[in-house]
Amino acid sequence: AAGVIQSPRHLIKEKRETATLKCYPIPRHDTVYWYQQGPGQDPQFLISFYEKMQSDKGSIPDRFSAQQFSDYHSELNMSSLELGDSALYFCASSFRAFSTDTQYFGPGTRLTVL
Amino acid sequence: AQTVTQSQPEMSVQEAETVTLSCTYDTSENNYYLFWYKQPPSRQMILVIRQEAYKQQNATENRFSVNFQKAAKSFSLKISDSQLGDTAMYFCAFMKSTETSGSRLTFGEGTQLTVNP
The string of DSSP letters for chain B reads --EEE---SEEEEETT--EEE--EEE-S-SSEEEEEEEE-TT---EEEEEEETT--SPPEETTEEEEEETTTTEEEEEE-S--GGG-EEEEEEEEE--SSS-PPPEE---EEEEEE-
Q: How far apart are CA A81 and CA A3, in angstroms?
A: 29
Report CB contact under 8 Å: B102, A107: no
pLDDT tens track for A59-100 = 899 999 999 999 999 999 999 999 999 999 999 999 875 456
**Residue B44 with chain A: CB contacts under 8 Å:** 105, 107-108
Q: B91 touching A, CB under 8 A?
A: yes
Provide the pLDDT for residue B60: 95
Report CB contact under 8 Å: B104, A58: yes
Closest CB to A101 among B45, B103, B107: B103
Name the nearest CA neighbour of A3 among B95, B107, B45: B45
Report CB contact under 8 Å: A31, B43: no
For the segment B2-14, the average pLDDT, to the nearest whole number, is 96
| pLDDT > 70? residue A57 | yes
* Dihedral pair phi/psi, residue B86, rounded to 5°: -80, -10
Across chain A, mean pLDDT equals 93
Name the nearest CA neighbour of B35 among B112, B104, B114, B83: B104
| pLDDT > 70? residue B58 | yes
For the segment B6-26, the average pLDDT, to the nearest whole number, is 97
Q: How far apart are CA B6 and CA A103, in angstroms?
A: 20
Report CB contact under 8 Å: A31, B101: yes
CA separation, residue B99 to residues A96, B50, B65 (Å): 10, 19, 28
| pLDDT > 90? residue B1 | no
- Paired with B115 in beta bridges are B13
Kind and range of the H or E run holding A76: strand A74-78
| pLDDT > 90? residue B83 | yes
Q: B100 touching A, CB under 8 A?
A: yes
A60 contact partners, CB below 8 Å, separation of at least 6: A34, A46, A47, A66
The pLDDT confidence band at residue B109, using thresholds 50, 70 and 90, is very high
Q: How far apart are CA A113 and CA A110, in angstroms?
A: 10
The two beta strands, A74-78 and A31-37, are: unpaired
| pLDDT > 60? residue A18 | yes
Q: How far is A47 from chain B (nearest CA, A)?
A: 8
